[in-house]
Amino acid sequence: MKMLIVASSLVLLNACATMMQGRNETISVDSRPSGAAATIACDGGVSVSGTTPARLVIPRRADHCVVSVTDGTRTGRQPIERGPGGKYWANFGLVGGFGVGSLIAFTSGGEEAFFAGAASGIAGGLGFIIDRLTGAMYDRDVHEVTIDLER
């Protein structure tokens, strides 16, 4: 019974990236001078805009994104890349529970450890799948962009 409680706690504490960070990501965009038009455009028709300083929200799954800032005469651009985020890899902690639970069950003869490990392994596997489908597995290389238009 204790192992079941421990496994349940792991599932709740090491939830997948979808639960921990969500499907969207906020990018802070600023410019020198401020008050410029800022846009983030990505593949798939994703586009958000605002006036600097701005906090623009884009889907984590959006790819090939470019931040553009213009004051009407000058324009600056900066690409922002995405990659798997650290919270996505936390699913490995849960998947590993299957092996640990099996080892404990075979050495001690208790079925509770095996079932707790199996539940943990299933939760981790589902975490990988859900994070990939929702796009929550991704994180940007930068979350704050400042473009100098005064140069």
Domain boundaries, the chain: 2-148
CB atoms within 10 A of CB 104: 17
For residue 79, whether the previous peptide bond is cis, meaning omega lies within 30 degrees of 0, is no
Q: Quick one: average pLDDT of 10-39?
A: 78
Taking a C-beta distance cutoff of 8 angstroms, is the pair 131, 16 a contact?
A: yes
Angle 2-13/111-134 helices, nearest 10 degrees?
Answer: 10
Cut 0.75: pTM above it: no
% of the chain with per-residue pLDDT over 70:
60
Q: pLDDT of 62-117, one tens digit each?
A: 999 999 999 999 999 999 999 887 766 666 665 555 555 555 555 665 666 556 66
**Of 94 and 142, more confident:** 142
Q: Can you spell out the DSSP letters for the chain? A: -HHHHHHHHHHHHT--HHHHH-SEEEEEEEEESSS-EEEEEEGGGEEEEEESSEEEEEETT--SEEEEEE-SS-EEEEEE-EEE-HHHHTHHHHHHHHHHHHHHHHHH--HHHHHHHHHHHHHHHHHHHHHHHHSTTEEES-SEEEEE---
